[in-house]
Every structure is written in C-alpha cells, then in structure tokens.
C-alpha cells in the first residue's frame, strides 16, 4: 500500500491516503499496522500512523494511531500534515477546509506555499481549551480548573496545570530550559499516575519571556516526541492561566523539532490558534 512519511516540527507519522483505497483489515488491521510500521528499526519509523479518509462531519477525516496501537483523538502537527497532503494532492482547491478526528472538527488555513502549489505552513483553529477538571479528565469530580495542582511523582512534588485540547495534558513549569530535564524518566510516571484516568500527555516548559516558551513533551502511548501540537497549545493556555505570558499575543514555543506559534485570547469560549510547518519526507509502498 502506498504511504507518505511526513512530519511537523519532527513529530513524524506514516500517512495513508484512504480516500479512494480502503486500509486492509479494518480497525484491528490499522492497530497492528501502527505498531509494526512505527518501529524505527523494523518498520518505516514514526510516532504512529494517520489514515486520511472522506469526512462525514468535515471535508476530510484523520484516523490516528499512536506507536503502541492506541487511538488518539487529535494531533496538531499531524492535522497540519493531513492538510498539506490533501491540498498538495488536489483534493481541495480552497485555502480553508475542515478535518475531523473522533468527532472533533478543525478548520485549517493554508498560510504559506512552496515550489508552485505545495503547502509549507498551515494555521489550525484547534478549538476551545477544556479547563474543567472532570472533563479533561483528571481524578476530580468537580468542574474546577486544575491550576498548579500538587502531584507527587517518583517521590518529587510537581505542580501541574491541566488542559484538554481534545486530549488530556498536564503542563509542568520548570525553572530552566528543559534540555537536561529527565523527561524519559518522569514522563511515563505522569502518564500512568492515578490522577489521570485516561493517562496524560505531559509538557515540561520553561517561560523565557512574555512571548517565548521552551518545551519538551512526553506523549501517552508514544514516549518523548520532537513536538506536540496539542501539547504546545495546552502549554500556552496554561502559561496564560498562570499569568506567565500575555493573552491575545502570538507566543513562540521552541520544541526539539522546531517552532510553533500559538495565540489564545484568554477566554475559554475562544479557540486556540496554532501555526506551523508541515513537510513531506518521502513516499513509498509497504506490504500491509
């Protein structure tokens, strides 16, 4: 089956165009393929796989699997790559179109092109942040916001601000750039802590100034990735809630794989907007 390897800021997935050709084996086949193909030694290599299908609620649908075969609700870097693929393939001629994932619909806008009609950068309306604790979800029955909530992880107390961008995130602010932070040790402890009934993605972030953040991320079901679009949005939302950056401004977030620009008004009824690159690495055929 034909595939396209793509990445957004180093957050890489194997993409399958299933608009005209069905993926073999149904949901179980998709899960098994995600585990097999994501392996960086024995497969194609990636943070997971994403299937692109005709949408029912939107122009297109993305079906996303993590590297461990679990489904994921949304990936900000992944949805930008979906946008590039469908636009570059000529499935849409408009500079604005919609993509759904597990019922949630995102609006994509082509921002910048490259070499003719190819897309280099897109902006995504990532929707409203979910701030009510029980809806994120965390192990609280109330709808209170979870801001700087103390958690003892691996014998160390951290303070987490929790946000859902269609998937749960715990944002931890640290006092220096996260280059040397033990993400691969602490991340899985956060992911599987009982405070997070559906597991969690965890961002370790350092606020350099009112418009600049440095961040590393541990993604549930995958491990550390070079970037996470929903996590970057959640981090900026958390930084605004804690008064660390300015609402309504374009906040640049430096990730291991590149930069994303996030904007949010500070009003929970308003959408978070993310702008960043989408790149094709190579194409090929693989036996499923």
The residues assigned a catalytic role are 75, 228
What does the block give as tokens for 76? 């900000």
CA 129 to chain centre: 13
CB-based burial, 130-154: b 16+ in 10 Å, e otherwise: bbbbeebbbeeeeeebbbebebebe
The beta strand positions in the chain, using DSSP E, are: 2-8, 11-17, 48-54, 60-66, 71-72, 96-101, 104-114, 118-125, 149-153, 156-164, 168-173, 201-209, 212-219, 223-225, 251-255, 258-263, 273-277, 279-285
Instruction: Tell me how far the alpha carbon of residue 252 is from its chain's centroid.
Output: 16
Q: Let me know: does 259 contact 113? Beta carbons within 8 Å.
A: no
∠260-264-265 over CA atoms, to 5°? 155
Q: CB–CB of 190/218 below 8 Å?
A: yes
DSSP string, 204-233: EEEEEETTEEEEEEEETTTEEES--HHHHH
């Amino acid at each position: 089956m034909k595939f396209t390897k793509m990445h957004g800021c180093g957050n890489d997935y194997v993409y399958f165009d299933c608009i005209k050709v069905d993926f073999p084996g149904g949901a179980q086949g998709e899960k098994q393929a995600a585990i097999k193909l994501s392996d960086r030694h024995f497969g194609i290599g990636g943070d997971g796989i994403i299937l692109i299908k005709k949408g029912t609620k939107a122009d297109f649908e993305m079906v996303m699997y993590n590297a461990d075969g679990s489904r994921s609700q949304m990936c900000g870097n992944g949805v930008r790559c979906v946008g590039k693929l469908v636009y570059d393939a000529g499935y849409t001629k408009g500079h604005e179109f919609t993509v759904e994932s597990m019922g949630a619909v995102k609006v994509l806008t082509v921002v910048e092109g490259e070499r003719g009609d190819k897309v280099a950068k897109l902006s995504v309306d990532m929707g409203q942040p979910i701030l009510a604790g029980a809806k994120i979800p965390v192990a609280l029955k109330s709808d209170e916001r979870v801001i700087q909530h103390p958690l003892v992880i691996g014998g160390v107390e951290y303070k987490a601000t929790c946000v859902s961008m269609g998937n749960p995130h715990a944002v931890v602010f640290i006092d220096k750039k996260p280059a040397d932070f033990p993400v691969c040790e602490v991340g899985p402890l956060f992911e599987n802590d009982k405070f997070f009934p559906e597991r969690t993605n965890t961002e370790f972030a350092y606020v350099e100034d009112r418009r600049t953040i440095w961040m590393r991320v541990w993604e549930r079901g995958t491990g550390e990735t070079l970037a996470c679009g929903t996590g970057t949005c959640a981090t900026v939302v958390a930084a605004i809630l804690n008064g660390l950056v300015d609402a309504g401004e374009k906040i640049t977030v430096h990730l291991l794989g590149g930069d994303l620009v996030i904007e949010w008004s500070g009003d929970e009824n308003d959408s978070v907007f993310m702008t960043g690159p989408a790149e094709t690495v190579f194409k090929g055929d693989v036996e499923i």
